[in-house]
Amino acid sequence: MAAAGGKRAKPPGRAGQSALDIAEQLHSVRHMLNNGRSSYEIRQALALQYGLPERTAERRLKEAREQQVRELEQLDRKELAAQLIGAAADILKEAKQTKQLSNALGALGFISRLTGLEMPRN
């Protein structure tokens, strides 16, 4: 079927996506990865939200993971430790609010290991 101007309409998820579209998709994938979504869930979300075929969704997953690795390689060790401590503190707060004390203890243990305050075991 021809679109206005005599050009054929491109099917969703096919060639011709702009760099902005791809960047948005990668941002979405990274967000889902950071929230613990599985590869299967991410591929399904990309198909529903953007109409991407499975191969394209898999490429977006691969590129998003590579971006995360590049960012981690550039992070300063102290900066990374600070981010991890912040995340553990959020987990600790949530665990205390929901009375999940084993999770709270786990977060405290993680923080103590990151800060070097963990007591050595004999």
State pTM to two decimals. Answer: 0.55
- Which of residues 71 and 59 earns the better pLDDT score? 59
Instruction: Give the confidence band of 20 by pLDDT, cuts at 50, 70, 90.
Output: very high
User: Residue by residue, what is the 3-state secondary structure of 59-88?
Assistant: HHHHHHHHHHHHHHHHCCHHHHHHHHHHHH
Instruction: Give the confidence band of 118 by pLDDT, cuts at 50, 70, 90.
Output: confident
